[in-house]
Amino acid sequence: MRSIRRCLTAAVVVVCAACRHEMPAAAGEYLFVWAGDSAGVSSDFLGVIDASPSSPAYGSVVASLPTGMAGTHPHHTEAVVAADNHLLANGFHAGRTWLFDLSTPRTPKILTSFGDLGGFSHPHTYVRLPNGNVLATFQYNQSTTDVAMPASSSAASPMHDAMASSGEHTTGGLVEMDERGAVIRTGGARDSTIPDRYIYPYSVLPIRALDRALSTTTDMDEANKKATSQWVQLWRLSDLTLLKSIALPPGPRGDEQQFTGEPFLLSDGRRAYIHTFNCGLYLVRGLDGVDPRATFVKGFEGKNCGVPLLVGHYWLQTVPEAHALVSLDIADPEHPRDVATLKVGDDEQPHWISIDNTGRRIALNSAGAGTGNRLFIIDFDPATGALTLDERFRDAGAASPGVSFNQKTWPHGFTGKAIPHGTVFSR
């Protein structure tokens, strides 16, 4: 009888272990990393990493899914996994979008992929709308942009990565679509009042309560030196009509306004913060009208600041020059106050961050910049703004925290240096 019981117990354990591979993820149990071969030879892929602090395999790679295309430059994903456990991600140099199904994290699937839409090419940012549609930025006009060939990802800047184009590109626009690429409406970003027309939609903030959207305009083509992209644009959300383009004013250094990046709506619903890749932070007022105004409120070290986050009344900013993540208290948006600076290593240049749905765990990676090329988890205290590096999240046997993307072997067969970019927690 005891022997039978032991056998039954062992069988249950085996079955349960197998079930874990097919069960939906608990919130924050996994990290999904959109990455590519630094040499651009092997297929780009979505990697899956165990991010459950209670797991004995914490920090280990558990799955990977190749796209079958190499050198597309895996870049932005959605900031969070959607409610249906789907995730949109772009291979920017190829101007291509993939839609992943992450319902069972250890067996991710590609549902579809698509290219140019609505007369525009090279999508960058995707934001889900309350009606279930997606609002996306497309950098270029399809009719004036030929296929862009990727430069080596290992040599590219994480801000707006170098690319070679077979022709001069012109202004793109916004596209409202379903998640599979069916176009609902479009709006062109070209503004006849701006003579040089150096406007290439980068990121977008829909503001449904005001029937507005706010977009930024940095060109991902680093060879386009004239496009300093100090512009932000205000739209009517319901029909994607462009209402106004405004230039951010210079800061004390004189160039903080250049290369507008990510916009976030503040708690009053009528003002927004916008960061720039030249390490400026700006407050934009008047979003409920047609004549918004912007003022400089903060500068950070260097000229290549990465992706920020707004969590409660804290602004979290990646600062590559400082090798750090910086936390600001912005309860008074006119006067942001430094709270914490967390350095992750002199060999790292932090670029991408995302947060789990508890608002307490942050994923941060270098997006290929710096020799460390690691992914970290940072604990965030929403009461104080404090930042603490999770020392337990590391490769097995490693002397320092973080999961390295240098010379790692992935389940789909790739071994080498991978360049990570968009990284999000399971929902």
pLDDT higher than threshold 50 for residue 403 = yes
Question: What residues have CB less than 8 Å from 207, skipping those under 6 apart?
Answer: 213, 214, 237, 265, 269, 287
- Domains in the chain, CATH or no CATH each: 27-425 (2.130.10.10)
pLDDT value of position 156: 41
158 pLDDT exceeds 70?
Answer: no
Angle, CA 25 vertex, CA 20 and CA 26 arms, to 5°: 110
Phi, psi of 19 (to 5 degrees): -60, -35
User: pLDDT tens-digit profile of 181-216?
Assistant: 999 999 999 999 997 778 999 999 999 999 999 999
| Residue 221 dihedral angles phi and psi, to the nearest 5° | -85, 105
Phi, psi of 129 (to 5 degrees): -100, 160
pLDDT tens, residue by residue, 103-146:
999 999 999 999 999 999 999 999 999 999 999 999 999 986 55
What are the tokens at 304? 């290549």
SS3 49: strand
Q: How many CB atoms lie within 10 A of CB 353?
A: 21
pLDDT at 408 over 50: yes
Q: How confident is the model at residue 150 (pLDDT cuts 50, 70, 90)?
A: very low
Band (219; pLDDT cuts 50, 70, 90): very high
What the block records as the tokens of 336 is 């942001």
The reported pLDDT for the residue numbered 167 is 55
The mean predicted confidence, pLDDT, of the chain is 90
Query: What tens digit of pLDDT does each residue of 278-324 get?
Result: 999 999 999 998 899 999 999 999 999 999 999 999 999 999 999 99
CB 70 within 8 A of CB 102: no
Average pLDDT over residues 47-53: 98
Q: Specify the pTM.
A: 0.90
Residue with tokens 């240098």: 406
State residue 197's pLDDT score: 76
Burial bucket for residue 220 (CB in 10 Å: 0-12, 13-18, 19+): buried
